[in-house]
A and B are shown apart, each in its own frame.
Chain A
Amino acid sequence: MPVLYKASFGYLLRHPWQLGLALLGICIGVAVIVAVDIANSSSRKAFLLSMNTINGEASHQIVAGPGGVDEELYVHLRVAGGMRNIAPIVTGYVSVDGQTLQVLGVDVFAERTFRAYTQPATGRRSTLNESTFGEFLTKPGAVLMSSAVATKLGLAIGEDFTITSAGRDYPALLIGTTQSSSSSAALANILVVDIASAQHWFDKIGHLSRIDVRLPADQGAAASILAELPPGTELLSAESRTRSITEMSTAFMTNLTAMSLLALLIGTFLIYNSVSFAVLQRRGLIGVLRALGLTRRETFSLIVAEGAALGIVGALFGVLLGVWLGEQLLLLVSQSINDLYFRVTVTNVTVSPLSLLVGFVAGVGATGLAAMVPAIEASGYRPQLSLARSVLERRTRRLLPSIALAGLAAAALALIILPLSGTSLVAGLTAMFLLILGFALCIPVMVDTVSRLAAGVAGRFGGATARLTVRGVSASLSRTGVAIVALAVAVSATVGVSVMVDSFRLAVNDWIGNSLRADIYVGVPGGSLDPELVRDIAQLPGVAEISSSRRIWLEMPQGRTRVLILNRAGPGYGGVELLDAEAEETWRSFEADGAVLVSEPYAYRNAVARGSTLSLNTPLGPQAFNIAATYRSYDANQGTVLMSRTTYRRYWHDEAIDSIGVYLAAGAASQSVMERMREISKGRQSLLMRSNRELRDLSLQIFDRTFVITDVLYWLAVGVAIIGILGSMLALQLERAREFAILRAIGMTPWQLGSMVTLQSGFIGLLSGLAALPLGLLMAWVLIDVINRRSFGWQMDMSIAPSFLLTALALSTGAALMAGLYPAYRAASARPALAMREE
């Protein structure tokens, strides 16, 4: 290694805490990026893997509306049409011992070219034998599963068990297990049964969930199938179908990624801080090197190389930490995806080299960028003309207006981007980062002004020591500025996110309260209610009215639409809050004229509004529906179309009801009505009953669970910022060792000196907190009005609880006070004589 670099690393090694904190900052920043990426991609990959396993070799799928595809269509295509590369599928979810598993109902004769259920295991082959086949085909409830699932469920081959589908229990029999190797790990949670069993379990007699199709690449084959399809039945590419499902979660994942970038941004400030200190402290040394003939460019490279080396080491540790953290986050992420979007069981953490590389490059790149500024500064040093501190501070202060101006420019750019970028989420996030950056650049000016003013005030009331304490902050702005900015950004993130989440929660709470009008809600997991049971419930004493709902997906080549079919109870549709239309007229056309309502996200996403029409795929072919109004809904970010049962009946022959709302007669007790419902449903369907209160609590629980990960991420960001403050205070203490020594020499006690350092740190924290409040509120506004809207299409009012603001102030001041303790201790315990001899 050239001696030049030895000199540089010798310095770093002699200041291990500075080195350590810088590394830690990069490390955490990188770790968060890698972790979020791992959690996201593992969830997505697990889903895609299971879809791929389930889709097998199918290139296309034939799907139809709520009832599924008529099985006669399949027979027609095969027997009359002579199509051979098609396979019927009946699929759904059941629960076994409380575990939810996907059932794949297949026709084994059609399967052979579609799916590989097992890998040929080495050693023992799968347990399938000649009688397995007969049992599979002829025994109702005969199930094949991977040996892993069998072990998990504690089942042995030949053992009977019970599966529950749509609240009904069915006998099942494990007739064989398959060996699942890693590539078919997705099968781990799938039960394979004969199609007849699946039709029985999912109440799909006569119908199929879909027909898998393997088409050659040419278009002619697709066209010949299309000609055979009845209206309302569609031939869709399997890949695009999978994509449209995964796309639902894209916005959610993008938001997580943005959060992780915020952590890195704060980490970058920290790196900037560390490298700047390292440069400042060696300005003498750099002067000597320049005098010895080191060119500006060489000086610049030296500092950047130093930063890059820090970045590489920090990023390496960050990647390792990220893998660990990713596993922790994965649970949270997959839980939220299950709650909100689609069912995914993540059995493997997918650590793709790409996500590690991205994290690593981001870390090294951010460090390189952060080191650039001090490197430019260092290369500007005159050889040997050792810079006096005061000159440096003067220069920093001279720069403040330009920095602030750059900040204002960034903010202005953000404000230009926002209205011009339409609905682009990435542009929204870019604008948010620009705003944060812009605001952050203005912070030093504010700090300078505030601390000058405060110094006067402090001097008047607290004497020279207090004045010295406060003045110290602005006097050493070249060092403290960045720490203040980093802490302010981190704290503002907590303010922004808390205000956003709180406003959101409040809106959701109101909405739930408004929507949930019935006293009891009844449904069955993963299925429909027995219509006769619904009739019986309506007749129960104590039941005044029932409303019903049905949720279906309608698919078209352009994408899928979620439709909610409502049948109102006596009190009407009071639970639906209309946003842009007058109630009476809307509900009349909703009931009588076949008009539909669209949820706010739907309207936003598809750019439709009251008065426009939308097209839905019905058994009579695509039909246009008038939109009578937009309504408020936070239930599905892909958007929902609301339709009346009357309208639904006009097109679909589907009387299924997914859930009902029970309105109690005056004086009836909900407990006893629930008891009666349990009574009459016994042996027919086990019902999932929730009181209004329970359902509301449950909804909020899911809501809260979704934001746990957000909390985790911003606390990590705060952690990084606190490390930054600690680092700054330590550096400052080292920097000012001589000054402290003089103060001690002229009679300041160690306690006084320690207090001064601690208070100074606390004052920095207070300033950060003050700066964080407006930035946080700005962030909250962007999150609510731009990011949330662009991600999910939701709109809500911002509500600011004063407690959040106070908490933020307390957090930043407290954190900085804590961070000041150790430097204070060091300053106080230094021997003045030694310190004075240095330099």
Chain B
Amino acid sequence: MAAYSISVNGEVKKIDVAADTPLLWVLRDTLGLVGTKYGCGIAQCGACTVHLNGTAVRSCSLPISAIGTSKITTIEGLSKTGDHPVQQAWQEVDVPQCGYCQAGQIMSAAALLAKNAKPTEEQIATAMNGNICRCGTYHRIKEAIVLASSKMK
């Protein structure tokens, strides 16, 4: 066990866990931030996607010891009231079915749009290809990203 101090959603959190503990399980088991999901544990499905200094990363394969001073943003911290353009678009387009993968999808989409507010179809596909949706909501994911892109300032 070791003590870490990490920045999550703008707050400093002190935790005491083993160095190899993936960020995913720190968020879920230690900090109670369960919006970040476990799907595969090997960075294949994207359900655990969070932002590390604004970049989409798979928290299931990121040990806590590697975080350092990086700023972590989870789905709970993407916006204060759930009104991030991507979150709004997801609701307007009515994207989710079971919904389990959607937090990860949203985090991937938000990271893309933060860097590239007007992505091409190919750029969207590249950014979203790492996130599996078992229900097959891909058409609406695309529609929502296009809509969110139009909402980005």
Query: Are the chains A and B members of one assembly?
Result: no
Chain B residues with a Cβ under 8 A of chain A? none
